[in-house]
């Protein structure tokens, strides 16, 4: 399995129209970005550790973008040429801490809070903006959407992030989650499936 080692993990919040409606929040005018530390990264089959500091641990199925070349201030039109590939990802979140803190750093940054799968080459993914994305909690379908519901496309996100910071090879961008996020408990198994990309499965301990 090819395991990415990013220098940073950049995430986009509230990037699906239905998810914005789910939380009764306005559609953002530009991408809302935040960071997860590389220490949060785990891989398919690894265990998600339920921290004692939270009482509300949520799954978030996401398409991950893996950068292939260093870029800064890349245009939307050129963005696809800097992408190495795509991964299934889970932006695990301590939802109660997110509400309590009023910002997202702590809630998103615990160790094991970023499970990802193997990288599927960009050349093998004709259109990342039209992929079915699903999450199964203990084999029960809990998220079912399509990346076509994203407010900002993969290319727009890469361009926007690169206008803020330099992106290096293997840097990871999580593109947001669709509607249907919800809680996980110890002993649960969460599986993320993205059309043409594959799947990841992780147990909560």
pTM: 0.96
CA-only gyration radius of the chain, Å = 15
CA within 13 Å, CB half, 16:
27
Q: What is the mean pLDDT of the chain?
A: 95
Q: Is the pLDDT of residue 168 over 90?
A: yes
As a whole number, mean pLDDT of residues 111-115 equals 98
Say how many Å lie between the first and final Cα of the chain, rounded. Answer: 23
* pLDDT at residue 145 in the model: 97
| Tokens matching residue 118 | 């193997």
Task: Express each pLDDT in 61-71 by its tens digit.
Answer: 999 999 999 99
Q: Is 22 left (phi over 0), alpha (psi -120 to 50) or beta?
A: alpha
* pLDDT at residue 42 in the model: 98
| Tokens matching residue 25 | 């929040």
Task: Express each pLDDT in 1-58 by its tens digit.
Answer: 578 999 999 999 989 998 878 878 888 899 999 999 999 999 999 999 999 999 999 9
When pLDDT is cut at 50, 70 and 90, the band that residue 126 belongs to is confident
* Residue 167 bridge partners (DSSP): 71
What domains can you pick out in the chain, each with its CATH number?
9-204 (3.90.850.10)
CB-CB neighbours of 19 under 10 Å:
23
């Amino acid at each position: 399995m090819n395991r990415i080692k990013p220098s940073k993990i950049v995430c986009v919040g509230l990037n699906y129209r239905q998810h914005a409606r789910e939380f009764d929040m306005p559609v953002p005018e530009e991408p809302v970005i935040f960071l997860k530390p590389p220490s949060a990264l785990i891989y398919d089959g690894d265990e998600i550790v339920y921290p004692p500091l939270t009482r509300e641990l949520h799954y978030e199925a996401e398409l991950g973008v893996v950068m292939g070349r260093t870029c800064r201030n890349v245009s939307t039109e050129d963005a696809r040429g800097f992408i190495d590939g795509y991964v299934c990802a889970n932006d695990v979140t301590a939802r109660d801490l997110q509400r309590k803190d009023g910002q997202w750093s702590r809630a998103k940054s615990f160790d094991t809070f970023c499970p990802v799968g193997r990288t599927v080459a960009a050349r093998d993914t004709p259109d990342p903006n039209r992929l079915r994305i699903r999450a199964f909690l203990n084999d029960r379908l809990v998220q079912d959407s399509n990346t076509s519901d994203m407010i900002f496309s993969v290319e727009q996100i890469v361009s926007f992030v690169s206008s803020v910071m330099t992106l290096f090879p293997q840097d990871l961008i999580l593109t947001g989650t669709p509607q249907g996020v919800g809680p996980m408990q110890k002993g649960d198994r969460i599986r993320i499936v993205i059309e043409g990309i594959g799947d990841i499965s992780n147990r909560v301990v």
